[in-house]
Amino acid sequence: MDMTITSSAFAHNGSIPKLYTCEGKNISPPLAWSGVPVGRRAWS
């Protein structure tokens, strides 16, 4: 299985809305990961 990152804030291959850029509020868009390899963990 491939690891996939998706966002409900914009479509696949779509433009990132200005809200999530330095021209907007420069906030992180909502992200969801799937297919993360077993035994992996977040870094700190």
Residue at 26 is within a domain: yes
Q: Could you list the residue range(s) of the whole structural domain that residue 13 is in? A: 1-37
Check: CB of residue 41 under 8 Å from CB of residue 10: no
**b/e code 19-39 from CB counts within 10 Å (16+ = b):** ebeeeeeeeeeeeeeeeeeee
Residue at 42 is within a domain: no
The span from the CA of 4 to the CA of 26, in Å, is 23
Residue at 2 is within a domain: yes
pLDDT tens series, the chain, 44 aa: 789 999 999 999 999 999 999 999 999 999 999 998 888 777 65
